[in-house]
Chain A
Amino acid sequence: GQNIDQPTEMTATEGAIVQINCTYQTSGFNGLFWYQQHAGEAPTFLSYNVLDGLEEKGRFSSFLSRSKGYSYLLLKELQMKDSASYLCAVLDSNYQLIWGAGTKLIIKP
């Protein structure tokens, strides 16, 4: 079966750095997405990786290793507004998105 694993919850301090990991086992691979979802709101797109390596976008970076079935989202200079759930999703060989359950990130002052 297809599976996406992420930690359920993480806690970090304002101003610090946090890395949210995602491992996947899917039928084929056509890209990996990270979405941010604030409580009670809709998910919004953060990043997309299809090739190995690091993609940087401001305070957020996303890394992919296809051979290891692994990705991480790195958040720097954490702000209170970064408190949210972070969803990892993989586009499989049928171009269907397979979603992880999400990681709830709690930022403490």
Chain B
Amino acid sequence: TAGITQAPTSQILAAGRSMTLRCTQDMRHNAMYWYRQDLGLGLRLIHYSNTAGTTGKGEVPDGYSVSRANTDDFPLTLASAVPSQTSVYFCASSDSPGGTDGSGANVLTFGAGSRLTVL
């Protein structure tokens, strides 16, 4: 089944340690995104990539970095984890970055999520 694969599904991490969340899509979508979801808050964009080789900062980029070496992969790295980074992380992709495509909708496809706990 085509879609987005995230790994790991869940992880407990000691504060100060580094961690990379992996995200791979097989839909050949141009744009990819990393969101975090916290109770009582909407999805918040961490970083995005409109096309391979480019990345941009979202609403809450501090403490996170990304790379987009090819179309399919978009890993998210926490260089030195802190407890406030405890969250559920979702990777998503879309065919067209930002604006609408010919059908009028820029629909996001999400991965299943990675639950990260930083102690």
Which residue numbers of A lie inside 8 Å of B, CB to CB? 4, 8, 30-31, 33, 35, 40-45, 48, 50, 87, 89, 91, 94-102
By a CB distance below 8 angstroms, the chain A residues around B45 are 96-97
Residues of A within 8 A of B43 (CB): 43, 87, 89, 97, 99
Name B88's closest neighbour in chain A (CB-CB): A40
Asked if A96 and B98 make an inter-chain contact with CB atoms under 8 angstroms apart, the answer reads yes
Give residues of chain B (7-37) contacting chain A, Cβ–Cβ below 8 Å. none
Give the residues in chain B near A42, CB-CB below 8 Å.
90, 110-113
B105 and A31 contacting across the interface, CB-CB below 8 Å: yes
Q: Given the known A-B contacts A30-B100, A42-B110, A42-B111, are A48 and B40 also in contact in the complex, defined by CB atoms under 8 Å?
A: no
Asked if A99 and B44 sit within 8 Å, CB to CB, the answer is yes
Task: State whether A94 touches B107 (Cβ < 8 A).
Answer: no
Q: Does B99 contact A (CB under 8 A)?
A: yes
B108 at interface by CB-CB < 8 Å: yes
| B42, B98, B104, B109: the one within 8 Å of A95 (CB) | B98
Indicate if the CB atoms of B42 and A50 lie closer than 8 Å: no
Q: How far is the CA of A40 from the CA of B110 in the complex (A)?
A: 13
* B110 with A44: CB separation less than 8 A: yes
Query: Complex Cα distance A43/B98, Å?
Result: 18
> Is B41 a contact of A95 with CB atoms below 8 Å?
no
Q: List 23 A-B contacts (CB under 8 A).
A: A4-B42, A8-B40, A31-B105, A33-B105, A33-B107, A40-B113, A41-B112, A42-B110, A43-B108, A44-B110, A45-B109, A48-B105, A48-B107, A50-B100, A87-B42, A91-B106, A94-B98, A95-B98, A95-B99, A96-B58, A97-B45, A99-B43, A100-B42
Q: Which residue of B lies closest to A100 (CB)?
A: B42
Which residues of chain A are near B97, meaning CB under 8 Å?
95
Q: 4 closest pairs, A vs B, by CB?
A: A95-B98, A99-B42, A42-B110, A48-B105
Question: Could you tell me the distance in whole angstroms from the C-beta of B116 to the nearest C-beta in chain A?
Answer: 15
Chain B 54-76 per-residue mask, 1 if CB under 8 angstroms from chain A, else 0: 00001000000000000000000
> Which of B43, B97, B100, B108 has the largest number of chain A CB atoms within 10 A?
B43
